[in-house]
Structure 1
Amino acid sequence: MGACSKLVAGIMAMSAMGAGVAADLDFQKSGVTKDNLPVMAAQIKSRLTFPLAWTPQVKDLAAWQKAGRAKLWETTLHAPDKTPFDMQVLDEVDRGSYVARKVIFNLTADSRVTGLLLVPKGKGPFPAAIMYHDHGSKFDIGKEKWIATWNDDARLESSKGWAKRFFTERFPGDELAKRGYVVFAHDALGWGDRGTLTYDMQQALAANFANMGSSLAGLMAQEDARGAEFLASLPEVNKKQVAAVGFSMGAFRAWQAAALTDAVTATVAVNWMGTAEGLMVPGNNQLRGGSAWQMTHPGLMRFLDYPDVASLAAPKPMLIYAGEKDTLFPLESVNAAFGKMSKVWGAWKAADKFESKVWAGGHVFEAEQQDYAYNWLDRQFGIRR
């Protein structure tokens, strides 16, 4: 074969080899799904073993709890704050059996904020509840979602609309005050007097916190622990009877605060619980981002799942709700989380202090549910009516 023929034959052989290799190549042709998940989500989730979660092998429950709380604080990128609260009363109105006050106080060393405080008349100290507001993509009101405001017609009308939509036209904080509880609510960053956020602004706000070596979700966690500690510090309050009550994102805030601080002695969490596996699925609201930034601690899922965090509150009493028709929290995921939590209370020999309840409805906290929760709180605090 001549030199020219050999050259042609070599080129043809190389072309055939290249074609074969190209045909056999398998590579990632897209990286992100339509649900905003990375295509390797299943592999990532398979590596989430939650090594700090309770297991039957845990022998020293107090040590397990201490380690879990320390890791939770670590992932918030914040720390407990001991700044004096220095409360001042701005205004007060009489509501019959209780008084409503607008107050200002040092929520942290960085933030002096307003709050709404309801105090029963008579001789205390009284049982108390800090009420953590929801997200709802509604930022003009925060604390006013729970407690009826005054001298602010626009906010009052807005909160009445919210109450009609979710709370059977009640203000749940005022209902609890009528029962003789001190009730307190403050705004999370971006809501009410500390707003006003928009849904799209949340991502930039969270990124800006990260770029300052901080965390938006961590700030909320720190502030919520501080809010409970502020309430427990008031002379009108029985420090052994301080409940954390929350709806939706507020439920997340409630069980998280109970895990972070001993100031919370009981918890009512309405419609926010599930496993990471069950919530990070196509079609779930969790995958949209937005509100998820308020509840996402960097690296937490490498150590603890959502029910594991809530279980750090054991053996303190906890009542936790879900809605059978709540599309935000798939029932299979909810029940898996509830089952995991109940075992922790059982390990503490406090199974009677944990109650999970699935209601027939959706993402609401209606009058019947409120009454059940408040009666449950009375029982935990030994209050007879």
Structure 2
Amino acid sequence: MGVRSKLLAGIVAMSAIGGVMAANLDFQKTGVGKDNLPVMAAQIKSRLTFPLAWNAQVKDLAAWRKTGVAKLWDLTAQAPDKTAFDAQVLDEVDRGSYVARKIVFNLTADSRVMGLLLVPKGKGPFPAAVMYHDHGSKFDIGKEKWIEPWGDDAQLSSAKGWAKRFFTERFPGDELAKRGYVVFATDALGWGDRAGMTYEAQQALAANFINMGSSLAGLMALEDARAAEFLASLPEVNKKQVAAVGFSMGAFRAWQAAALSDAVTASVAVNWMATTDGLMVSGNNQLRGGSAWQMTHPGMQRYLDYPDVASLAAPKPMLVFAGEKDTLFPLDSVNAAFGKMGKVWGAWKAADKFETKVWPGGHVFLQEQQEFAYDWLDRQFGVKR
């Protein structure tokens, strides 16, 4: 009997013993399933225990927070940056109770960028807000989604269209400046004056960052922390009253900046909060890949879930909105995240500093919501009207 015949005979013989070998002959014939998830997604997710998340056994909250923040910074793959901002004013327009300025400054050691700054008239220092723009698959404007631009008719038209779609035809940054806040916004990489992004190219851009030992999401985290620190450094600003405000992807940026930077003393996050498990469901935008890259720190879920990261901001005041009909963020997952976060503020004996509200609409930041948020900010900062 030849070698091949002996092998086949052995396989047949073992297959007959309790069917054990027959079962072992089965193998994976499909590796990628629906929504581009690996077929072993459930097994992988079941191993996510988020060991750095707060739990009831945590006794030293400050040490827990320090460990979590250090791990998050490590996951961003960014080096510490203390570059002088070296800001210069390019242009200024009078808007009645406040002035609007175009400025250039060193956002990082690698990038000198333009920002829009609104400064109330009168004697400061004033409360302030750094405003982080959304994604929206719309890249021609970034900071202009928050603050009304000038000097470019096409840009203004685009910004007004965005305001009509999401913000009740208002520029939320200008509305906050009318209340006496210094307001600042700049572009994330690929938006507005830092143009060059397309929806299709996002994954390639993210891969190129990884190939350079860096991270697209990590760069955004660093730049957002630096933007908050720049705002807090201005003489017109009360350093104890610096809010991070964001809508959609900007909401993610706001609570992340509140966690990472001591310059942020309060935050308002509109329509971006849920659990990893709740977002990784069939049909969810998070599974499409493209617009998820700005919010994907490689390996983060081995340590922390999204609400765990936001909870590193405790006990600073935080207001988080959600939309009852927001298809991007399933309400059960939103409420699970809110519940998890609330326990952390409670552990800090600061339950009154954490507030959530689910609005009846969808993925928007309408006038009523803006006024609610700004009134809340006034209360946190002790601003009297």
TM-score by length of 2: 0.95
Quote the offset at 1:17 in angstroms: 5.0
Aligned twin of 2:64: 64
Q: CA separation in 2, counterparts of 1:312 and 1:22?
A: 51
Q: Are 2:114 and 1:107 equivalent residues in the alignment? A: no
In the alignment, the residues of structure 2 paired with residue 52 and residue 128 of structure 1 have an alpha-carbon distance, to the nearest angstrom, of 32
**SS across alignment from 2:199:** coil
User: Which deviations, in whole Å up to 9, do the C-alpha atoms of 1:27-80 show, x marking residues without a partner?
Assistant: 111011120111000110011000000001000000000000000000000133
Tell me how far 1:196 sits from its aligned partner. 2.5
Q: How much identity, in percent, do the aligned residues show?
A: 82
**Which consecutive unaligned segments of at least 5 residues does structure 1 have?**
4-8
Matched residue of 1:239: which SS? strand
- SS of 2:184's equivalent in the other structure is strand
Structure 1 residue 257 corresponds to structure 2 residue 257:
yes
After superposition, the CA RMSD in angstroms is 1.7
**Gap change, CA 1:121 and 1:28, over 3 Å in 2:** same
Residue 286 of structure 1: aligned partner: 286
1:162 counterpart residue number: 162
Tell me the equivalent position of 1:6: none
Which SS does the other structure have where 2:33 is aligned?
coil
SS in 2 for 1:35: helix
The AA in structure 1 aligned to 2:302 is R
Cα offset, 1:298, TM superposition:
1.2
1:315 aligns with 2:315: yes
- Following the alignment from structure 1 to structure 2, what is the Cα–Cα distance between the partners of residues 15 and 374? 73
Establish whether residue 233 from structure 1 lines up as the match of residue 233 from structure 2.
Answer: yes
How far apart, CA to CA, are the structure 1 residues paired with 2:265 and 2:381? 9
Task: Give the secondary structure class of the aligned counterpart of 2:358.
Answer: strand
Query: Cα distance 1:243–1:18, how it changes in 2: closer, same or farther (>3 A)?
Result: same
Structure 2 counterpart of 1:203, which letter?
A: Q
Structure 1 residue aligned with 2:195: 195
- Aligned-partner Cα distance in 2 for 1:124–1:251: 27
Q: Does 1:121 align with 2:121?
A: yes
Equivalence for 2:89 = 89
- Residue-by-residue CA offset, 1:188-243 (whole Å, 9 max, x unaligned): 00000001210011001000001110000000000000000000000000000000
Structure 2: which amino acid aligns with 1:165? Answer: R
Correspondence for 1:248: 248
Secondary structure in 2 matching 1:372: helix
The TM-score with structure 1 as length reference comes to: 0.95
Q: For 1:163-194, what per-residue CA distance to the aligned partner results, in whole angstroms no more than 9, with x for missing partners?
A: 00000000000000000000000000000000
The CA deviation string for residues 134-188 of structure 1, in whole angstroms up to 9 with x for no partner, is 0000000000000000001001000100000000000000000000000000000
Q: Which moved more, 1:20-29 or 1:339-348?
A: 20-29
The aligned counterpart of 2:369 is 369
Structure 1 pair 31–102 and aligned structure 2 pair: CA distance change class (3 A): same
Question: Where do 5+ consecutive residues of structure 2 fail to align?
Answer: none
**Pairing 1:9-48 to 2, within 5 Å after superposition:** 17=13, 25-48=25-48
How far, CA to CA, are the matches of 2:168 and 2:329 in structure 1? 21
Pairs aligned (count):
378
**Change beyond 3 A, Cα 1:18–1:245:** same
Partner of 2:298 in structure 1? 298
Match of 2:146, as an amino acid? W
* Local SS of the residue matching 2:246: strand
